[in-house]
Structure formats: structure tokens, C-alpha cells
Structure 1
Amino acid sequence: MKIKTLYVRFYKSFNYDYLRKSHPKAVPDEWDRLPESGLFYPFVRVSMESGITTVVGANESGKSQLLGAIKCLLTGENIERRDFCRYSQFFTVGGEMKKPEFGGEFTDLSKEQVAAVRSIASLGDSVKVETFHFFRMNTGTVLYVKNGKDWSEVKVKAADIKSLGLPTFFLIDANTPLPDSVPLAYLTATDKAKKARPRAKMLRWIENMVTNPDWFGSKETIDKAAPQLIEDYTAFNAVDEIDDEHLMQRLELAEKLLVQVAGIGKDAFEQLKTAVRNHDGYANGIVKRMNEDLAKALNFPKWWSQDSEFSLALTLRDFDLVFTVRDRTGSEYAFSERSGGMSYFLSYFVQYLSHVPTGGQEILLMDEPDAYLSMLGQQDLLRIFDSFAEPEDKLVRPIQVVYVTHSPFLIDKNHSERIRVLEKGDGEEGTRLVANAGRNHYEPLRSAFGAFVAETTFISNCNLMLEGQADQVLLAGVSSLARRSESKGATLNLNSLSLVPSGSAEHIPYMVYLARGRDVDTPAVVVLLDGDREADGIRTELKKGYRDKKYVDDEFVIQSSDIDVADVTVATDAVREIEDLIPIDLVLLAIRHYATEVLSPEDAAQIATTVTAVPVAAGQKVFKAAEAACKAAGTTLRLDKVGFARAVLHCLEHEADKDLRAVTIGNFEQLFTRIDRAQRQAVRSNGRERVRRTLNRYKDSFLRDHPTSALRRDVEGLLEDIEHQLTEVTDETERVRKDMRLIRKDFDLAAEPGAILENYDEFRERLEALPYGGVQAVQGS
């Protein structure tokens, strides 16, 4: 069972659906009228995806409150009068104060749940039950189920609610990172000891010292008692810290990681504590095995894309297990030396791995996990959400995911259908759901995020420069639909490719310059141009370069005319622009739909009857032919490219038949294949450029400081600095690391760090050659 639609009324910023109430043709649902007066006050309705739903909106728009509404619906708990919408006209102190009301439409029912619904509603076996509506009202709990054309309305008792088997929810806590360390005393203690007050611990510690005066009788007795004193003091300090509830939660998370995820038994911690107390080397063996189990259980490189060699390890420090991380440089760091985002991501990851399914349907709720994560970290978190919604193990029940975010990087741009934008109106209007926000590229998403498109330009792995916004709408929309269809062909990964509309073809050279001509570290860029004469001129200009410098190689400039018409089903003799990939039957559907959006019903009906064909002349573009067809029919319709593109996407998803949809997607897949290939090559090329720039910058700086000689430690410091900058794992960076290992070996850098490096001229030659060894490693790739 899953939630298909959430209904909220009079809850905090959710008052009622004021737009639907004011619509002259609105038809109330059975549950939308107030029982006391019969007045129409419709619930705010928020549809839910069966997999992942992404909730966005400005501050105070009600995003987090939506998660609260889901909890109230599923549990019936914490539905308080104090949460009644305070600017509602029904918020009063003159009579009995009301409570907020919640409802849900539930689908994907099991046989047992269908039987329970039939029993509660007294329906016969012949009545088809696919969904039901369940509401927690001020007048009681009510079940609504369709009985033919009518609704059956039944008040539900508490025992019957249990028989329905409503989903349960669980949370991934976005505000609790893993701790830097966890005391062995904590891992071995009982729950009662863990929660002991620090004052009591301190008194017991002092009492222990007072009752053992022999501990301080001689040096020998002090040495013998020292481990016990350290252990007791560590335990005291740990409990002193975990008296803070937040730190207690962090230690509980660490325990989950070690016990539930890594599968380390409690006895291992007891044995480790004893070994430390006895100064036994056995302790190192235990920690080594713990680290092996931890690495195997986490398989962290699969999820942390920023470093494929990243690992989490345990280091023993007195009676504490300290969490450390190792990266591709082979260096080891404490948590405090790394970014806070990494420890928060680890927290989310541990909570994901340690989650134990209840056996019934579950919903994961998460509130603003973006606060602590970098752009790439947020992209990695999306993969964790995907693993909940679509687990690799088909025996594991998929979990619905609903999360709230402020960040454009936690939007899966390949799935715009997941997005729900909340907007808060004025006065008593309250929060409403903005319809079709994800498909309107990109308003009101831009308002929800501040500047959705502008602020994400030039920061992805690769940027695709487009002539206009209509290109952006078509590429994003068709790619997203193709991912959701049965097609297995090429699509665009919109999470790693930013679509950047330039306004027109003439602006593209300047946009390329903005992306690649103003900074040391530049993003990869691919350019998509039309196949007309103007675009040919722009391509020539890009070959020459902007301000006499070339910023994009010709192999990364694609024109629509590169597509062979023999490989697509089109009405033109060449693909001169993206719209030429749209079949004529879909063009006709889009014209009619666009007319219903911008014209009166009478004029739109005229379009439907008069524009019955779109003839395409030799050398003509499809969009120009569509404009000409509207004009020839004597209509007043003026086609706008962006509006037409949106209409194409609407018709492709909702009106086109299966064959027409397959032809359209197949046409666009030819273009997606070319873009995808150019993107991969551009990212590789850009990575090689960045490595060479880094190496040359460090090399030049070092040789300026050390023109004729250097100490071994200076050379070692240089190599370490370079290693820390090689953040990607590629053939080139691996070759550079190999060459640096040979330099260390050949010049014996580990011996006598304070000595002057011998054969400095030879070293200088090796250093000069370092940037080019990587190029040779990838030559021809």
C-alpha cells in the first residue's frame, strides 16, 4: 500500500485550496464540505509518486509541515488544536476549538487490504476496489471507497484502522553526524549505565580512587593502576558529553554502524577493552579485523563518487575507538580534519544501511538534508534515495521516499515528474501546490530556489550550450519522458549535464567565453547549434575563438544537421533545428493544445477544424511550416517557440499514441547519442587540461623557489602537494602518481630528509616531464 494523494486542511500554513474553492466549475469531493454547514472548503491536495517525491518551495512555504501532515495521517498522533491554521476564518476561541484534518488516497493494495476495505465498507466481492480514501476529521475517522458511480462513506473504529494496514514511516535524521570517536565503555555498557548522570559517574570514580589507596602507594602500584584510572576517566568524560542528548544520538549512531552494519559482536569490544588494559598486542589484531568487517559492510566507494578509494577505519586511542578516513592519497585523517559534509553523509549512509524493514509498507521522510552536503554529496544522496525506492534486491520491498529540500542539486533533473512546489499565498490563502511545476521549465522552480537556472550554470560536470530556451525545454522533457518509457535508448543525464540557453546562436561564443575564459579551473563545454547558415557561421567563429583564443574544440560542437535523415523519421530533407525531429502528427496535436492555452474556446475550436495538415516545403523547417499552416488557415494564433515546445511535451505524454511516442523518442535518441558521446569526451579532455594546469603551476612555483638545488624534504612536500590536488582517478592521474613514486624511489627521498638532493639537474628534467607523462598515458583515448 502506498500513498497516492495527501489531503491537508486547516493545518499550520495549509488552510484550504483557495484556488479550487474560487473556481466556478469546481466540483466538491465527498470529503470537501464541512459537516456542520455543508460549505465547500476543499482540502489542499498533494499527489505523491510511488517512488520518490521531492518537495521544494521558498522559506515558510510549508515544506516541513507537509512531512508533519504525513505523520499525522498515518499515526493519528499529535493532531493538536494548537496546530490549527491561525489565519483561518475558522480559528476561534468562541466555541470548541477545532483540530486540523488530514486524509490520504491509498493505492497498490494487497489482497488482505482489499478484503479489509470490503469488510469495513460492507461491499460485496463483485465491487472492484483499487484505492480507498481515509480521513481523520474532527467528526471522527472516515473511510471513503468507490461503489460503482457512488461513494460509500463509513466511520472507522480503531480496530478497523489496524486491519487496513496503513504504511508506517521512518526518518533519516539530517542533523546528527557520526561522532569523531566512541568510548569502549559506551559500547560495552548496559543501557542504564549509558544514561547514568555524569555526577553519579564522577562520584563513583572518586569513590573508586578513595577505596583503593594502595593505587598510590608506589610507582609500581601507580603504573599497575594507570590503565584502570584511564578507563574510568574516559568513561566519565564520555558520559559527561553524552548527557547532551544530541551527542547521545551521535554515539548511538556510531554503535549502529559498528554493531548492526559491520556486524561486530559486543564480546569483541569487551575483549578489546581487556587487551588495552593489559597492554596486549591482541588489541591491534582485533581492531584490524574490525576494520576489515567495516570496509566489507560499507563498500563506500560505490556511493561516495568524490573519491573511489575513500574508506572509513577505526584507530585505537587509549580506551576510545577513533573514526578516521583514508583517501586516494593514502593519507589518514580524523573527522575534524575533513569537511563536516563528509561526516553527515556518512551519518545518512549508516542510517540507510542500518534500517531494518518492518515487513509492511514504509515511507522514508527526510527534511532538508542539503544543509551540510556539497553538490556532489547531494548527488550521491540521490542514489541512496533511489536504492530505497528501487532496491537492487527484488525481494526487498520498495519504500516510498518523500524529502524536502532547498537545493537544486537534490533535484533529480532526469525526473521532473517527482517535483512538488509549494507556494504560500497572502492573508488566509495559505499554502498551495503549484500544478505541473516540474514540467514548466523552470518557473516557479526559479522562484522556489532563488535562481534555479542562472545559479547552476557552469558548475556541473559538463555544460551544453544551446541557442534558446525552447531547445532546453525539448531536450529535458523528451529525455525525462524517454527514461520513464519502455525505450532503452540513449538519454541525457541532466544531473551531470547543465542545459544552458544562450538566447540565440550569436550569443553562444560569449557564453562559452564566460564558462571557460575567466578562471583557472574551467568546466567542460559542449555546444549544440542548428543546422542552418547562421549556425554554420557561429561554428566558424568558435573555431577561430573568442578574443583570438579558442575555448572549445570543434569536436565538441554539434549541429542538428549532423544527424542523417536516413536514421530518423522526419518530414524535412535535413534536420536544420531540433523541432525538425518532431513528427508532423505530433506537431498538429501540439498546435491544437497550444491554442487551447492561449486562445478563447471558440478560437481554439476553429484551430482544431481548420489546421488539419502541416505541409513542409523543400528546405523549410518544421516550426516555420507550422507557423505558415496557422497563417494559411486564417487563424489568429501566433506560435511561440517555448510555448510550442511545452505543448509538444504535453501531447507527447498525454495525447500521442504509443507508436507516435516511440517515433519521437527514437528521433531524439539520435541527437542524445551525439550529445552523450561529446559530453564524455569533453569531460575527459577537460580533466586532462586541469591536471596539466595543476602540475605546471606547482612545477613553475617550485622551480622559482629552488632554481639550482633543494632539500629532499622540499621535494617530498612538492609531491605531496601535487597528490592532494589529483582528486580524480583517471589513466592520466594514475600515470602521474606512478611517475612520482619512481621519483621518490630513484632519488631516495625517504632517507635524510634534511639533506640536499643529489643530481638536481636530472630531477629538474623529471619534474619538467611530469605533466606530459599523463598525456602519453591517454594518447589516443
Structure 2
Amino acid sequence: MHIREVLVRWYKSFNYDYELKFAPTSKKKNWQVTEDGWLPHVRVDLERDITAVVGANESGKSHLLDAIHIVLSGEDHSRRDFCRYSTLFSVEKDKRLHPEVGAVFALSSEEQTQLTALQIPLQNNGDLLMLRPSEGVVQVLNANEERVQLNPAQAAKLQALLPKAHKLQTQVDLPDSVPLAALAGSTPVPYERNKRFELLNFLSGVKGLELLQERVAGLFSLLEAARRSSQDESDRELVAQQRQLGQDLLTKLAGIDRSSFVDLMDAIAEEREGLVNALIQQMNQSIARHLNISRWWSQDEDFALRVSPREHELVFTIRDRTGTDYSFSERSRGLTYFLSYFVQLWSHDRPAVPEVLLMDEPDAYLSAVGQQDLLRILEHYAHPDDSERRDQVVYVTHSPFLINRNAGHRVRVVDKGSGDEGTRLVSDATRNHYEPLRTSLGAFVAETAFIGGDNLFVEGISDQVLISGMNGRLRLAGAPPSRTLDLNEVTLVPGGSNMPYMLYLARGRDQFKPACAVLLDSDNAGQEARRQIKKGGAKGRPTVPDDLILMLADAVPGAVAEPRVVIEEPEDLVPLVLAGIAARRYAKNLLGLSEEEADVLTNEAILAGVTSDKPSLWDAIESAFQAAFDTGIGKAGFAKELIAYLGEHANDEVAPEGVDVLDTNFAALIATLSETLATARETEIARRRDRRVEQLIAEFIDAYPDGCIRDRALVALRRIEAATDDTEVGDVIRAGLATIRRDHELTAEPLKRITDYPLFRTELQTLPLLPRLRDQGRMEIGDIDDADGRADALTPSGVPAAVTEIEPADVIDGSKSPKPAVSEVAERKDEFESGDSAEEVEANPLAHEVAE
């Protein structure tokens, strides 16, 4: 059983559906008639998995969560929450009403059978429509849409079958510490640590009974201050909730037995430091093993949550990528709130029946990246990897970063009308590419290169609309994530005529550059834009390599087009029948034409405009539209009408004509875009890694230009090894480090100077080039021959690996050019940068060795 739709009337900011009441096509429902006439409920449909409710301040979005909680639990249903601006709000006898809330529930066949056995009426389609008109009263609608009140026994049995509401406490963060006594199941020490310290300091200065008698007033003053501090905490309930979270983390999530905390308390009291350290070490291992927080907290893959012992508390600490431990108070509060949400979700015992998770503005304390991490947790909660269970999630937010841009259908925008209109649902929230969603958020959700980690530059807004709309459609249809775009990670940037400059802004100035790819039309304008991009970077070098610039025709091999149409722009991928529908919808919505008037624009008229001289479908659409209506048509509007039409027919059993071809064409395009962006991302990761390695090497050479002891060199090699990632390229660099470490005997006699320092420096400078030389077949990775008595160099995986020596002038079979000397490569590698043109690389043989 899950909620299909929520019904709200007269609850807080919700009055009634003002727009529905006065719409000329509305049909009055007798079960919604009151003494003031027909007052329909505000109806908000919920997704089967996740629904995001967005609205401006005071729009009533949080009230919707409260209404859902009342529907499911029957609790907190009070007259005091009756809408104040309703005409039915009264203080007179027998005229005081309760807010009315309800829901439509989708049922399984088994649940339908159960309710039928209880003689609980259902609607004609098998759904259950339940209402709570007043406290303790439950009504349902029968097949004739008549209210039927359930008796107490029926209501109790129905309540047991309903989904359970679970409201996440978004204003409660994890505590800095948890009393050990509470964890051990005994009474905690009553005073805070700083007050205990003051008392001990006071008593340490008291020697003898007489002095104590003289200072007894001061002692009682300290005790009273400590007691007041304990009682006057800003929110005692909040502190209790925080401590409970800390206990749940350690006992429920980490699985630590309470007897372990008893042993720890005794070990601390008895000053058995060895046992204390052993217990704490095991507790930290249990936390790491069971929580696996690094899977969800993407801002630091080496993040670890730990505990440290104090006299009467366990203190939570955080170890980051630097290997340093910090207390919660030394880190941002966003992390502690994220951990709080994590603990609440994972320690919560889900009921046997389905559940509805309610969250009120969980974005308040989280950064943009933290909100994206929370989105992944919510996705897992609704669709767990290890269970067939499916629960619902409903959350309200102000933040654009807590909206899954791959799933615009999940967004519900609520708005408060003027006067007695009350809160209403905006029905077309995402039809106009997230308008009026942007307005409701209070800020323009900019589509720029500076939000997303990966960026796809397209020529115009129409490309942005088509790609995002079709991408969402393909994802809903079950396309693999690897062949679609994750719009939470990828930003579609309409560059237009400013494409070269936009790319320069995105990639031309900073040390760390975002991954970028470009999609251009295959027409003359697109070819000219490609030439400009190739010349538009710093020092005349392109801002993105040629393989990351896609021409549309090359990106969709095998795409199906209309007769005589040559595929050059995204509109050419649209079948004629759908293009005609979108153009006519544009005419009706923009020009206010009737169906008959819009039908003047025929598909035949559009197709007649496609000739061998003008093979563009879009040009034909423009020409036919101008001839039919004496005005032009915009690409963006055309694209939005096409996506809107597809959305209206998304649930049709038989897809409209042309849809299969459209899906196939755009599936091919989007798969190519996804692969290209993956290449861009991997290239950027490799560039950053190489740059980091080069920086570490340069720092070491600057610090020790003429020589150093082996121990300092060994430390430098460890830093370089730590900067490499767990890839084949990283394996090559680590193998090179192992060879250098072995050949120069860095692990023996650490205070001795390196014997052949010039060779060591040259080999160190050559390290970043080893992966490229390996790819070119100029270097081999394999077992070291122990015939010369040298030990194997082991990679971190334990596989023996070594780098064959590169001779200064090694000629193979007399048919290939000599290999460049290692020293020559090291000295001249800075002459070549990523972005050298193909002509430059071809003209200089050495560039083949080092150019990126």
C-alpha cells in the first residue's frame, strides 16, 4: 500500500482548491459539498518513491508534511489548526470544525482482499480513498463516491494496514560526546565536564576541615551553578535527542555491545591504559566496518568517524584525508547534521508495513555537495540495494541542489494565493524546464559552467531542452545510467556564439579545470565554431582537445531521418509527425489559435520545404510556419512543446507515431555524449594526478638541487606515491618509484647521501612520463630477474613489477628512430603542454613522447 494522492482542506495554510472550484470544466463532487457550497480539497499526487516539495517561504509546503502525518497516524488532529481565513472558521457552538485530511492509497490485490473482508468500501478502480474529517473519525468513499464512516473495529484494523509515517528530525545534529554511563546502561554523571573541572579545582585547594568550613558557601555556589547549567540548557529535549543519536550510532549501527562500555568504564577507573586503548581500537574498527560513511560522503573519500575516551564520556572525532583527528566543534556543522540524518535513517527499525519518510528542509545545514550526497542516501532508502522493500520519501526544500535533475517528474511546487485562496499546487512545475520552480526557489538556477562538475556545451537553449527532456524520458524508460547523462553531475551549458569564450572562462584560467565536452551542429556555423574553439585557448591552444568536440552528424551514426533531410542539428532527429505536432502546439499556445486554425500548418507543407538545396528540417518548419501564420517560430519553444507532448503521453499503452524513432535517435546521441563526457572526466583526473606528481617532484628538486640524504628522498617518494590513484597509470608510477627506491638503496643507511644524485634527479623527473612510454611500448612492466641479486620491487597489490631501462639511443631492428634519452625527455618535457595542435606534434618527434 502506498499513497497515490494527498487530500487537504482547511488545514493551516490550505483552504480549498480555489482554481478547481471556479474552473469552467470542473465537475462538482457531492462528497465535498459543505454549507458554503462545493469546496474541493487541494490534491497533491505523490510519486511511488520520492517526491520533492518546493515552494517560497510561508507557502505551506511544511504544512503538507504535517497533513500526511495526520492522515497516516491520526495523531495531532486538532481544531486549532483550522485555516484562519476560511469562511467556515468559527467560534460558535456546533459550528467549529476540524481540518479535513485524507489520501488515496494504491493497493495490491492482497490488500484489496483484506479490506473487502473487513467490509471496507473501495473505489471503482480498486483504490482506497480515506478521509479524516475530525479527530478519531475515519471515513472512506465507496464505488458510488459516497462517504461511509468506519466503525471503531474497522478503523483500528485499517490503521494497522496503513503505511507508517516516520519524520526525520532535521534540526537535531550528532552530539560532540556521549556519556559512557548512558552507553553502559547506568546513570550518567550529572554535571558537564567543564563544571566538574571547576569543582575539582576548587576542592584541590581545600586542605583540612576548617578550610572547607570556611569555603563551604563557595562550594554550594559552584554546585548550584553546575545544577543550573544542567537544567538551563537551551533545549533539554534536544540534548536528549542528540545523546540518543550518539547511542544509536554506537549500539545499533556499529553493533557494539553495551558490556563493552561497562568494561571501558572499569578500565578507565582502574587506569588500565592498555585495555582502554584495545577497547577503543576495536570500537573504531567496528564503526568503520559497519557504517561505511565514505561511500556516501563524497567530499573526502578518506573520511572516518572515530571515538576517543575521556573520564566519563566517549568523544566523537573525525579523521580526514590528512590523517588528522578533529572534534565536531572544529569542523563544519554541515557534517554533523549529515551524520545525524545518516544515523537516523540507518538506525531506524522499519515496520513490517510500508513507510513514508518525511523530511522538512534537510538542506538547511548542508553544502551543495552535501545535499547531493543526501540525495543518494534518499535514493537508496527508497530503492535499497539489498531488499525488495519500496518505501516513499517526501521532503520539502528551498535548494536547487536537493532536486534530482534527472527526475523532474518528482517535483511538486506549492504556492500561496491571495486572500482566501490558500496554498495551491502548481500543476506545470517542470513543463517549462523547471519554471516556475526557479521562481519558487527564490533564485535563478543558473545553467552555467560553474555549477556542475562535468559540463556539456551546446549551441543553444533548444539543444539544452531537447537533451535534458529526452534524457529524463530515457531514464524513466529504464535506459542504463552509463548510456544517459546524470544531470545532477552534468551541466548543460548553452554557449551560442560565445562558445569559445565560455570554454575559456570554464577551462582557461584555473589550475583545476572542470571536465568539458562540446556538441556542435554539423552545419557551416558549427564548423566555424569548431575552428574558433581550436584557436580560442591560451597561447592559441584549444581549451578542449579535438576528441571532446562532437559534431552532431558524427555523434548519431545510423540515425533515421525524414526523406531528403540531412542530419546537421538536433531538430533533424525529430520525425515529421512529431515535428508537426510540436509546431502546431506552439501556434496554439503562443498565438492563441484554435485546433482548427493551427491545423492549417500541415506535415505535407513542412516536408515540401525540404529540398536537396535546403536539407534542413528546421528550416522547413520555419518556412512553413511563417507561410501559415505570418510569424516566426522559436527553437526553444518548439523543443518545449515537443517534450511536453511526450510527457502527456508517457503512460500510453501504445506510443504515438514517431516516438520509437525519436527515442532511438536520441538514445544514440545521448549515449555518445555520455561516453565523451566520461572521457573528458578521466582525462581531467589524469591531468590533475600528473600535475600533482610533477609539483611534488618540482618542490623536491627546488629544495635539494645538488643532493640530499637517502631518508629525505625516501620521504619524497612516499609523498609522490600517496598522490597517485588506484589505476593502471598509478601502478606504472608506483613501479617506477619502487625501481628508484631499490636502485639507489634508499631504505639502507638513511643518513647516507645518495651516491649518484644527478641520475636520481633525472629518474625522478621522468616519472610522470612513464605511463605514456608504457602506452607507446617503450617500457615494460614485469617480474624483475633476481639473477643479479636484487630484491623484487612490489607494487601495493603485491605483484612484482619493474621498469625496464630506457637507453639514450636504443635502435630496434634498425628500422625505428632512436629512443630519446631520459635526461633529454626530462629537460624538454615542459616545452610541450596539453593543447599542442596535431600539426605541432607531428612536426616534432619528441612531442610524440611528452605532448598530452
Shorter-chain TM-score: what band? Answer: 0.7 to 0.9
CA 1:319–1:475 in structure 2 vs 1: closer, same or farther (change >3 Å)? same
The alpha-carbon deviation at position 716 of structure 1 amounts to 9.9
* 2:639 maps to amino acid: A
Q: Does 1:543 align with 2:534?
A: yes
Residue pair 1:556, 1:678 contacting (<8 A) in 2 also: yes
156, 170, 176: which is aligned to 2:150? 156
Residue pair 2:711, 2:746 contacting (<8 A) in 1 also: no
Aligned to 2:544, what secondary structure does the other structure show? Answer: coil
Could you tell me which residue of structure 2 aligns to residue 225 of structure 1? none
Could you tell me which residue of structure 1 aligns to residue 611 of structure 2? 617
Could you tell me which residue of structure 1 aligns to residue 662 of structure 2? 664
Q: CA RMSD in A?
A: 4.2
471, 481, 495: which is aligned to 2:488? 495
Residue pair 1:181, 1:322 contacting (<8 A) in 2 also: yes
Give the structure with higher Rg (CA). 2
Could you tell me which residue of structure 2 aligns to residue 293 of structure 1? 286
* 1:617 maps to amino acid: T
Over residues 703-728 of structure 1, what are the superposed CA-to-partner deviations in whole Å (9 max), with x where a residue is unaligned? Answer: 7788778999999998999899x697
265, 268, 279: which is aligned to 2:260? 268
Q: Does 1:389 align with 2:382?
A: yes
441, 462, 471: which is aligned to 2:433? 441
Q: Does 1:136 align with 2:132?
A: yes
* 2:384 maps to amino acid: P
Aligned length: 742
Aligned to 1:427, what secondary structure does the other structure show? Answer: coil
* 1:376 maps to amino acid: V
Could you tell me which residue of structure 2 aligns to residue 41 of structure 1? 39
Q: TM-score if structure 2 supplies the norm length?
A: 0.77
Q: Does 1:553 align with 2:545?
A: yes
The alpha-carbon deviation at position 532 of structure 1 amounts to 0.4
Over residues 455-495 of structure 1, what are the superposed CA-to-partner deviations in whole Å (9 max), with x where a residue is unaligned? Answer: 76422221111111111111111111111114458221111
The alpha-carbon deviation at position 109 of structure 1 amounts to 4.0
The alpha-carbon deviation at position 696 of structure 1 amounts to 5.6
The alpha-carbon deviation at position 677 of structure 1 amounts to 1.3
181, 185, 196: which is aligned to 2:181? 185
310, 316, 329: which is aligned to 1:323? 316
Could you tell me which residue of structure 1 aligns to residue 847 of structure 2? none
Aligned ranges 1:688-703 → 2 under 5 Å: 688-694=686-692
612, 619, 639: which is aligned to 2:633? 639
Residue pair 1:572, 1:622 contacting (<8 A) in 2 also: no
Moved more, 706-715 or 535-544: 706-715
Q: Does 1:103 align with 2:102?
A: yes
The alpha-carbon deviation at position 621 of structure 1 amounts to 2.0
Could you tell me which residue of structure 2 aligns to residue 223 of structure 1? none
Aligned to 1:99, what secondary structure does the other structure show? Answer: coil
CA 1:715–1:23 in structure 2 vs 1: closer, same or farther (change >3 Å)? farther
Over residues 70-117 of structure 1, what are the superposed CA-to-partner deviations in whole Å (9 max), with x where a residue is unaligned? Answer: 112222222333333334444445664443221211113453455426
The alpha-carbon deviation at position 411 of structure 1 amounts to 1.1
- Aligned equivalents of 1:244 and 1:515: distance in 2? 49
Over residues 502-530 of structure 1, what are the superposed CA-to-partner deviations in whole Å (9 max), with x where a residue is unaligned? Answer: 2x3x2211211221234333211111111
Could you tell me which residue of structure 2 aligns to residue 86 of structure 1? 84
CA 1:348–1:712 in structure 2 vs 1: closer, same or farther (change >3 Å)? farther
* 1:101 maps to amino acid: E
Could you tell me which residue of structure 2 aligns to residue 463 of structure 1? 455
Q: Does 1:650 align with 2:644?
A: yes
Residue pair 1:565, 1:575 contacting (<8 A) in 2 also: no
Moved more, 316-325 or 10-19: 316-325
- Aligned equivalents of 2:300 and 2:729: distance in 1? 16
Could you tell me which residue of structure 1 aligns to residue 16 of structure 2? 16
Could you tell me which residue of structure 2 aligns to residue 675 of structure 1? 673
Could you tell me which residue of structure 2 aligns to residue 231 of structure 1? none
CA 1:581–1:303 in structure 2 vs 1: closer, same or farther (change >3 Å)? same
Aligned to 1:428, what secondary structure does the other structure show? Answer: coil
Could you tell me which residue of structure 1 aligns to residue 172 of structure 2? 176
491, 500, 503: which is aligned to 1:509? 500
Over residues 125-152 of structure 1, what are the superposed CA-to-partner deviations in whole Å (9 max), with x where a residue is unaligned? Answer: xx855212222225984534352xx313
Over residues 143-200 of structure 1, what are the superposed CA-to-partner deviations in whole Å (9 max), with x where a residue is unaligned? Answer: 34352xx31321234432232222211122223232333232221134xx35x8649x
Percent identity among equivalent residues?
39
Over residues 257-310 of structure 1, what are the superposed CA-to-partner deviations in whole Å (9 max), with x where a residue is unaligned? Answer: 111112221112112222333333333333333333322222333323334443
Q: Does 1:425 align with 2:420?
A: no
Q: TM-score if structure 1 supplies the norm length?
A: 0.83
The alpha-carbon deviation at position 121 of structure 1 amounts to 5.0
* 1:648 maps to amino acid: L
CA 1:106–1:756 in structure 2 vs 1: closer, same or farther (change >3 Å)? same
- Aligned equivalents of 1:174 and 1:711: distance in 2? 55
Residue pair 2:552, 2:570 contacting (<8 A) in 1 also: yes
Could you tell me which residue of structure 2 aligns to residue 258 of structure 1? 250
Residue pair 2:48, 2:392 contacting (<8 A) in 1 also: yes
Q: Does 1:591 align with 2:561?
A: no
- Aligned equivalents of 1:62 and 1:709: distance in 2? 70
Aligned to 2:542, what secondary structure does the other structure show? Answer: coil
391, 394, 405: which is aligned to 1:402? 394
In structure 1, stretches of 5+ residues that fail to align are 217-233
* 2:294 maps to amino acid: P
- Aligned equivalents of 2:444 and 2:283: distance in 1? 45
- Aligned equivalents of 1:129 and 1:45: distance in 2? 18
Aligned to 1:432, what secondary structure does the other structure show? Answer: strand
Residue pair 1:56, 1:421 contacting (<8 A) in 2 also: yes
- Aligned equivalents of 2:517 and 2:749: distance in 1? 48
Over residues 567-621 of structure 1, what are the superposed CA-to-partner deviations in whole Å (9 max), with x where a residue is unaligned? Answer: 445545432111111122222332343344334463x224337624342433422
Residue pair 1:688, 1:775 contacting (<8 A) in 2 also: no
Q: Does 1:372 align with 2:365?
A: yes
459, 469, 472: which is aligned to 2:464? 472
The alpha-carbon deviation at position 416 of structure 1 amounts to 0.7
CA 1:566–1:198 in structure 2 vs 1: closer, same or farther (change >3 Å)? closer
Aligned to 1:5, what secondary structure does the other structure show? Answer: strand
* 1:189 maps to amino acid: G
